[in-house]
A and B are shown apart, each in its own frame.
Chain A
């Protein structure tokens, strides 16, 4: 078939498809009653498949470039519409929180445990070491910073963990900004064969352990522990999970199995980013607890410790039991 005959036969159909695309998202939902010759949304998949066939023919028969380009353009637009995002995102979010998130964390339990050891190991080590050799802390934290921390956890403060000049909302914003940034760093640098995640896990574990140890040994133990107990469950777990997600990326590059490194990375990124969704949410919750609950002084330390203990139990139970029924 020559091009002129092809155009005479199919140009009308091509233009009909183009017109439907031009209608836009909102008008696709209602049947087009004004124009009886117009393409109806229900017929689009069949029309699209035919258009694909026409493009393949036009290309194979070496019709003029403008005609082929025009068909390519239409097919591309149709492709974007037909394979575009579907609805139902909200239901998916709920299902993710109800079961998908703990399930994906459990399926990566080796990496999560590795990350936990990399983070809590140095933390506990430093916490203990500084009890016996308080000067040891100066290897990690400068005296000026230590003075700042001492000011934050001064027992005379109006609110725990905050200087009197600070303000709840401002600290909330600061916590979100600062903690999520640490999480993202820990995650993203894991792509460098896991090295970045390992570094940030060990680094943050060391600093937190050193400061906690110092404040405890310097007599600020009670204000410090009653401040951190509330949000520690969410926040520290989220750091560990970010690290595990980063290690997932890194391990795909180190041991890709029987795939190319690139396709192993693409596969690994899917569970990793799901873990990061959850971790980001946990950072957010932690920031709210840290901004509004943790600084309160009207409750005794015993109550705050109990709340911290309950939250730790809930978090661990959530990851242990959550989503079991879905076959994880």
Chain B
């Protein structure tokens, strides 16, 4: 398949699917984090301004902590994502799909010092586009992946209707296509559903429009074994 899905084998002997995120969503996540960090810095600067030198010390220390530990703390304690990544719907995981811990998170975030050279994460970007998993150098060393957070799947079920036996035997992938269509038929416009159903009009015994849709949904009902 020509997409960004990565199959990861688990100890239970099955494969789970992860969708790796490319440079653009990751850059957006980074920019959001940058805005958040700058906002926090401004807030701290304003609130400690009256404290003079001590305030400057607080400011310097928090600048340091925000620069190096902000991503680490959120990635380890905040469910694998900084606020920016969370907003974009990204999450950092180990290569085997498990949540990352302190060593991996620190490795990938300390190596930012190399990834952002010579300007604006140029090295990191080159590494990402040269790599099938969009890893920057920090990800390569820490063995981590930035993937899309799994959306809670829709639980649309195939609409119940009178099962109709297909007129011709169907291969497994054809069956799956029909099931997919039947599940999505409620989520797309009726016109589009009819249009799609008409493509397989031989299956729908040459019918058109909504009757063709009903026919396909009927076949799907038959395929899942409803009686």
List the interface of chain A (C-beta within 8 A of B): 1-5, 7, 48-49, 52-53, 55-56, 62-66, 69-70, 72-73, 75-77, 79-80, 83-85, 89, 167, 169-170, 172-174, 176-177, 180-181, 184-185, 187-189, 191-192, 196, 249, 262, 265-266, 268-270, 272-274, 276-277
- Among residues of B, the one whose C-beta sits closest to the C-beta of A48 is B12
Is B156 a contact of A66 with CB atoms below 8 Å?
yes
Which residues on the A side are within 8 Å of B38 (C-beta)?
Answer: none
| B189 at the binding interface (Cβ < 8 Å) | no
Is B172 a contact of A3 with CB atoms below 8 Å?
no
Is A174 a contact of B60 with CB atoms below 8 Å?
yes
CA distance A37 to B220 in the complex (A): 33
Is B68 a contact of A79 with CB atoms below 8 Å?
no
| B76 at the binding interface (Cβ < 8 Å) | yes
- Among residues of A, the one whose C-beta sits closest to the C-beta of B96 is A83
Size of B's binding interface in residues, CB under 8 A: 60
Is A52 a contact of B98 with CB atoms below 8 Å?
no
Most buried by A among B14, B16, B152, B156: B14
Is A64 a contact of B182 with CB atoms below 8 Å?
yes
| B176 at the binding interface (Cβ < 8 Å) | yes
Query: Would A4 and B153 be within 8 Å (CB), given that A184-B110, A187-B113 are in contact?
Result: no
> Nearest Cβ in chain B — how far from A243, in angstroms?
14
Is B97 a contact of A177 with CB atoms below 8 Å?
no
Determine the main DSSP class of A at the interface with B.
Answer: helix
Is B99 a contact of A84 with CB atoms below 8 Å?
yes
Listed by A's residue number, 14 A-B pairs whose Cβ atoms lie within 8 Å are A5-B225, A66-B154, A72-B17, A73-B153, A80-B97, A83-B96, A85-B76, A85-B101, A167-B53, A167-B57, A176-B64, A184-B113, A185-B113, A273-B106
Most buried by B among A80, A192, A274: A80
Stretch of B27-35, B134-142, B198-206, B207-215 on the interface side? B134-142
Chain B residues numbered 158-193 whose CB sits less than 8 Å from any CB in chain A: 158, 172-173, 175-176, 179-180, 182-183
- Among residues of A, the one whose C-beta sits closest to the C-beta of B222 is A2
- A-B pairs with CB below 8 Å: how many? 156
Query: C-beta contact mask, B104-126 vs A, less than 8 Å → 1, else 0?
Result: 00110011111001000000000
CA distance A277 to B183 in the complex (A): 52
Is A84 a contact of B14 with CB atoms below 8 Å?
no
Which residues on the B side are within 8 Å of A170 (C-beta)?
Answer: 53-54, 56-57, 60
Which residues on the A side are within 8 Å of B143 (C-beta)?
Answer: 266, 269
Is B183 a contact of A265 with CB atoms below 8 Å?
no
Is B10 a contact of A52 with CB atoms below 8 Å?
yes
Which residues on the A side are within 8 Å of B175 (C-beta)?
Answer: 62
Which residues on the B side are within 8 Å of A177 (C-beta)?
Answer: 60-61, 63-64
> Nearest Cβ in chain A — how far from B7, in angstroms?
10
CA distance A174 to B54 in the complex (A): 12
Which residues on the A side are within 8 Å of B56 (C-beta)?
Answer: 170, 173
- Among residues of B, the one whose C-beta sits closest to the C-beta of A51 is B12
Query: C-beta contact mask, B1-40 vs A, less than 8 Å → 1, else 0?
Result: 0000000001011101110000000000000000000000
